[in-house]
Amino acid sequence: MSSSPFLAAGARLRLSPAGLALAVLALLWLSAPRVGAAQDGATPPEQPDGEAGLALFAERCANCHGPLGAGDGELTGNLPVQPAALNDAAFARQQVPVAIFEAITNGIAASGMPPFGPASSNPLGEADRWRLVAAVLSLGVPPETLAEGETVYAASCAQCHGNGGREAFDMTAQDYWTGRSDEEVFAALRDTEAIPEHEAYALDDDELWAVVAYARTFSYDYANPLAAFEPIESVNVTGIVRNETTGELLAEGTPVVLNTFTGDFAPSETLTTTLDATGQYGFNLSMVPPDLIYVVSVNYDGLNYGSDFGRAERDEPVLDLPVTVYDRTSDATGVRIGQLHIILEFGEGTVTVNELYQFSQDGNAVYVGKSGDLAGGTVEIGLPEGASTPSFSRTFGSVDSFFPAENMVQTVRGWADSVPVRPGEATLSLLAGYTLPYDGEATIAHPVYYDVTRANVVIAATGVTLSGEDGWTEEPGGAMGGTFASYTLTGIPAGDTLSFTLEGDAEPVVMPGSGGSTAATGPIVRDRTTELVIGAGALLLVLAVSLVFVRNWRQSKSAGVAYAEEAELLDRDALLDEIAALDDAYEAGEIDEATYLREREALKEALLAVWE
């Protein structure tokens, strides 16, 4: 018989089968080499929290691995290899935590899995990567298996090893568990040659797998992956509706609409109520899916206003979603262009001009145009004489996702948008594109109808310089290490002319992400590593490549893809309409699955960006 003090104690106390199994585990613990001990990062800096890990998993991993780790994420169709089913018991039992950590840190190039360690453009710290390991371990163990293991342990093992697994030997020690799979531990416990006494106390396979899984939880905080998907018993959505122009609450009886959406932004339910005498509304919902998204809207003076997006938390089921409305105004005094970014792209005998106007409204009312009728146009922009193929796109509050503006109005002095401008800074961004001839020299000049705080020109070519009589200054070093030239001009008054002259033979610059050409073939996916900060940091390089995205999207639309009209005022409504129309187009067979998934993901990212 072995002289191990643990086995001797087991013989004296006549341990149950599970207890003897864990005694064998102790022997293995002391005798086997520590696989991860010599490796950097082989043990976590603190006990990994599975609940925090599952939150990270939902944010960073579920789009490929699926919400429950079944390998069924919405992006799997774009991957070279189907992700492994992390929730498959046989697969989970083979996994070694330190190997999971290394895969999370460095990625798996062959399967398309990106790194989340230092090599990532958005890295996770070491502790967070170990929390993801705890999430993967949790996904691989059904709660009922863990419950069975806990029952076996409590009945047969706790008498010697304690409720926390620290007596006789320390089962919370990380250096044992991180270097071994459950399969290895299971096999060691079945080795009756090393421990002859174990044969008389053998557990059946299910019991042994269960107690191994439970014993491992002494080294990490298990989290039930299904708990996050259980309905929230009761959710109360409430808020007040205030007219910010007058400071008054809206009248009792004013209709209020609550729209709910799934976590994938598919419409779920629409409810209606009215305001009470205090200007407040309330919706009470029961057994609510935890990923439900809420937005409240009120129609006031013919315009639709909405709350922020909201999501109820299980421990905070009361959601406050106030709605702010405004009176209309036809006075353009408070309207200004905080930033006017101009990006120039050169082709054979042409220059494509892309102008981004970021409109702000300093008043406390919604600007609806001089006529007061949206159909007559709101904010106006001018184009140079000879400009061809004009196109327009817009976004609200954000500059990293643009959508075609189909309802522009041509006026006697240019073009006007037909959506109101909310009070605030950069609440409407309008992107205008057009083409001019270029044979080595060209002057670009057009009026501006509102005060411009700052104008910026980016020349996406080498060999071209900008000159002008209005005080344009070149940014030192250009932009992106000199690849682009950048010029600025400040303080252009309303009614003045924006003008500059271009000279030189253009050598086009290959845009990042374009695959070696100046034109892309599909929607551009934002890559944070290629963001270019121009001037004071207002403009991203992704803006430039998003122009290609808009052009390609417009081409797909003209080929028969149906998209919804933008909503009158709210960017969130426009994006939700776009998602719904895209879903309809896919169901009708008007677009293929790859295009549908790609464009829906882009819309979701834009909607989440607005939400955040």
Do 482 and 488 form a contact (C-beta atoms < 8 A)? no
Residue 391 pLDDT > 50, yes or no? yes
| Residue environment code for 67-101, b if the CB has 16+ CB neighbours within 10 A, otherwise e | bbbebebbebeeeeeebbbbbeeeebbebbbbbbb
Among 499, 479, 269, smallest CA distance to 382 is for 499
- Which is more confidently placed, 396 or 547? 396
Phi, psi of 518 (to 5 degrees): -85, 0
Taking the C-alpha atoms of residue 295 and residue 265, their distance in angstroms, rounded to an integer, is 11
pLDDT of 90 reads 94
pLDDT-based confidence at residue 609 (cuts at 50, 70, 90): low
Cβ neighbourhood burial of 47 (10 Å; 0-12, 13-18, 19+)? middle
How many other β-carbons are positioned within 10 Å of the β-carbon of residue 539? 23
Domain edges within the chain: 5-216, 230-325, 332-559
CB atoms within 10 A of CB 555: 10
Q: Give the model's pLDDT for residue 361.
A: 93
d(Cα 377, Cα 379) in Å, to the nearest integer? 7
- Sheet-wide strand order for 414-416: 380-381, 414-416, 409-411
Task: Calculate the CA dihedral of residues 385, 386, 392, 397 and round it to 10 degrees.
Answer: -40
At residue 18, the pLDDT reads 40
From the list 300, 306, 308, the residue with the least C-alpha distance to 328 is: 300
Question: Which pLDDT score is estimated for 195?
Answer: 54
Q: Residue 500 has what pLDDT?
A: 94
Q: What is the pLDDT of residue 469?
A: 67
Amino acid (1-letter code) at residue 161: H
Return the top range by mean pLDDT from 21-35, 50-64, 68-82.
Answer: 50-64
SS3 label, residue 574: helix
Distances (CA, A) of 316 to 52, 166, 285, 394: 17, 36, 14, 36
The type of residue at 219 is: S
Tell me the HSE value of 196 on the side-chain side, using a 13 A CA sphere.
3
pLDDT, one tens digit per residue, over 129-162 is: 999 999 999 999 999 999 999 998 887 778 777 8
Q: Looking at the predicted structure, is the pLDDT value of residue 32 above 80?
A: no
Q: Residue 577: its pLDDT value, please?
A: 67
Average pLDDT across the chain, whole number? 79
pLDDT of residue 75: 85
Give the pLDDT score at 42: 79
All residues at 6 or more sequence positions from 280 whose CB lies less than 8 Å from its CB, including other chains: 238, 239, 240, 241
> Using CA atoms, how far apart are residues 452 and 337, in angstroms rounded to an integer?
5
230-325 and 332-559, same CATH topology: yes
Between 80-84, 114-118, 325-329, the lowest mean confidence (pLDDT) is in 80-84
Q: What is the pLDDT of residue 165?
A: 80
CA–CA dist 502, 472 (Å, integer): 12
pLDDT (average), residues 497-521: 63
For the structural domain made of 332-559, what CATH number should be given?
Answer: 2.60.40
The pLDDT of residue 554 is 37
- List the beta bridge partners of residue 297: 257, 306
Residue 408 has pLDDT above 50, yes or no: yes
Over 70: is that where the pLDDT of 401 sits? no
Q: At residue 417, does pLDDT exceed 50?
A: yes
Residue type at 406?
E
Amino acid 484: pLDDT:
75
Among the four given CATH numbers 3.40.190.10, 1.10.1840.10, 1.10.760.10, 3.50.50.60, the one describing domain 5-216: 1.10.760.10
Q: Is the pLDDT of residue 549 over 80?
A: no
**218-222, 378-382, 561-565, 598-602 — which is least confidently predicted?**
561-565
Residue 94 makes CB contacts below 8 A (sequence gap 6+) with 181, 182, 183
Asked which of 127-131, 158-162, 289-293, 331-335 is least confident by mean pLDDT, the reply is 158-162
- How far apart are alpha carbons 587 and 266 in whole angstroms? 13
CATH 2.102.10.10 holds for 230-325:
no
